[in-house]
Amino acid sequence: MVSKYRGVDLDAVTCLDVGHAWVETFYGRAQSGVLKGVVARVVVCDRCDSEKAEHLSWDGRVISRRYFSEPAYIENARALSDDVHDRKRALREARAERFKAAEKRRK
Ligand SMILES: [Zn+2]
């Protein structure tokens, strides 16, 4: 069942609230750019396909970080609200409503 709230497919923005499910797809030396040769990694979210690229120091510090989210993901998130905290709250509110409706059906 696809649950929608304010026209948004909530499964598509679940990562907003619970965080992304990152899976490493690349770990090695950066092949180009001003940080060429520095250790880099790319992780992709198993749920929403967002991507995160980082350059790392040998002692694990993050030198740079860039996110690449699916346009549909961003569009859905913004449809919930312009405010990031309100987006998460709207998602939880919709989930609570879904829960209440399911609970009512069981009675
Ligand atoms: Zn995600």
Mean pLDDT for back-to-back runs of 10 residues, the chain (107 residues): 73 88 97 94 94 96 93 87 89 90 92
Phi, psi dihedral angles at 18 (to 5 degrees): -95, -5
Predicted confidence at residue 23, as pLDDT, reads 98
Cα(105) to ligand 1 centroid in Å equals: 31
Predicted confidence at residue 12, as pLDDT, reads 81
CA distance linking residue 101 with residue 106, whole number of Å: 9
Predicted confidence at residue 73, as pLDDT, reads 85
Cα(84) to ligand 1 centroid in Å equals: 15
Cα(107) to ligand 1 centroid in Å equals: 34
Predicted confidence at residue 2, as pLDDT, reads 55
Cα(88) to ligand 1 centroid in Å equals: 14
